[in-house]
Amino acid sequence: MRLARAAGAVALGVVCSGHIGSPDAWYEGSAGPYHVVVQVATPGVVPGVAKVYTRVTGDGVRQVTVQANRFDALASAPPPETAKPVEGDPGLYLAPLWIMSGGSNSVTVNVAGTLGSGSAVIPVVVVADRRLDMNPLLGVGLSAVGMFLFIGLVTIIGAAVREGVLPPGAVPDDGRRRKARFAMAGGAAVLALALFGGSRWWQSEDTRFARNMYKPLKATAAIASDGHATALRLVITDSIWMMRNDTAWLRHHNASRWTPLIPDHGKIMHAFMVREPDMLAFAHLHPITYDSVTFTSNLPPLPAGRYRVYGDIVHESGFTQTLSSVVELPEGTSGAARLTDSDDATFAAGGPPAGDKAVLADGSIMTFQRNRARFVEGAGTSLRFALTSGDGRPLALEHYIGMSGHAVVSRDDGSVFVHLHPSGTFSMASQMAFTMREPGDSIAGKLGRRMNEMDSAHVALPPIPADGVISFPYAFPKPGRYYVWVQVKHAGRVLTGVFPAEVEAREQ
């Protein structure tokens, strides 16, 4: 039932994943005077141990430490953990880091060396997304040990009643033997009852854990037309969100309240449409909303077909989530004469993408500079793309929604979807929520007012690379065929290129 599912999700601390099937957080940027690339491999269970990999460029690094902090923590953060150099990989440091509660967390990476010291804050959304099964051989072994202990304890009870009060060398009579048998039967019954109660408790805990595992908010997508314009309408239908302002309802369902939405890169939502199964049409839209339930965007010209729809949103507490649905675009559907947002962009390929070069809509060239012969699941890499004009000169890029470029990575079956920036996988608004938070702030208090006063569209923009090359740190989470859409802006026009990527399974 939707209510139970939604309440279970909130029991985890009202958490959600900002991507689909790609839980790791990536950051590339500065930690003071040092350039760092950070990968936070989040645990699949909570509490759990995250692995924080930090690659530091340059010499003179004396120490790298990492520290976890939950967004709504009232006490001070635990002491930092020292990252150790990875043998055989100079410049790479690894530290295990306990994440004690699910929800909106951050990892602070501190680097100290001859150039001074610096730190970087990486927002991390941690959710329980899987249930660990017991190894069958271990289960058999534990069952055998348990049976041995059960029989041994019953035997000890019988021996204590039968012979425990007799003097040495005395032989128990028939009456004492009967008492021993009754005591053994009673002891066995009590132990069996205790085991049954323990089993029921364990099953109850397992059921509660499974119910509380992260499940995304339910949303539906539809194509609407009023005779003047055709629009995409994405609606959050989960009761836990629709009733988020009803205190009595939340109390009755033992649910926590969701925090409000905040703009990310100046947009309340980033929506993406990907046609399936050919993956030949793509749209990046920015719907508007008046109630934070229904999000609407005028539909640009797109070929007919079935589309997967993804909607990225960010909450005031800094955690992100991706809504997902599907929609059918019928034949003859005409695009709206005017788009909802000037940054909306679409792409439709004439055929399956192939190779590492793509000719963009204005005639410029986008080249996928693969830094390895093959992609392997779980192996960190940098997705690099070079933009050149028709005469081979680097393309003069402009900021597009606050970044030098955006990328979307999706597996062909839809099981993986992630929106990337050159700085990593996190949202700028989420990072702002952590860096702006001061001691004593409540989620809906002073921080909320400051976030409303200044969104991520008004912060300092990252520099544009002069050589026309942009890169995105990432690791493909599973083998299969992927597509990568890369969007940049040149001469006021949004340009999109698409590239296939085959990812091989990791060797065991």
Q: Using the 8-state DSSP alphabet, how is residue 424 labeled?
A: B
Domain map (residue ranges) of the chain: 24-126, 136-164+173-212, 354-423+462-508
Q: Note whether 24-126 and 354-423+462-508 share their fold.
A: yes
Cα–Cα distances in Å, from 2 out to 13, 212, 467? 18, 13, 51
As a whole number of angstroms, the distance between CA 133 and CA 124 comes to: 25
Which CATH number does the domain 354-423+462-508 belong to among 3.40.50.300, 1.10.540.10, 3.40.50.720, 2.60.40.1930?
A: 2.60.40.1930
Q: What pLDDT is attached to residue 429?
A: 59
Report pTM. 0.77
Q: What pLDDT is attached to residue 190?
A: 92
Q: Match 């924080």 to its residue by tokens.
A: 52
As a whole number of angstroms, the distance between CA 323 and CA 269 comes to: 10
**How many angstroms separate the first and last alpha carbons of the chain?**
39
Strand order, beta sheet including 219-225: 219-225, 230-236, 294-298, 288-289
**Which amino acid, one-letter code, is at 103?**
G
**Cis check: omega of the bond before 439, within 30 degrees of 0:** no
Dihedral sign (CA 416, 418, 424, 425): negative
| Residue 167: partners with Cβ closer than 8 Å, 6 or more residues away | none
Cα–Cα distances in Å, from 165 out to 156, 170, 178, 181? 13, 10, 15, 16
Domain 24-126, CATH: 2.60.40.10
| Residue 176: partners with Cβ closer than 8 Å, 6 or more residues away | 161, 162, 163, 166
Find out whether 183 and 157 touch, Cβ atoms under 8 Å: yes
Q: Write out pLDDT tens, residues 231-250.
A: 999 999 988 888 888 888 88
Strand order, beta sheet including 381-388: 357-359, 365-369, 381-388, 469-474
Find out whether 328 and 275 touch, Cβ atoms under 8 Å: no
The encoded tokens of residue 17 equal 């994943």
Is residue 202 classed as helix, strand or coil in its secondary structure?
A: helix
Give the closest residue to 451 by CA, choosing from 224, 197, 268, 199.
268
Is residue 324 classed as helix, strand or coil in its secondary structure?
A: strand
Find out whether 3 and 12 touch, Cβ atoms under 8 Å: no
- Compute how many other C-beta atoms are within 10 angstroms of the C-beta atom of residue 135: 10
Q: What pLDDT is attached to residue 224?
A: 86
Find out whether 75 and 57 touch, Cβ atoms under 8 Å: no
Residue ranges in the chain whose pLDDT is less than 50: 1-17, 439-447, 451, 454-457
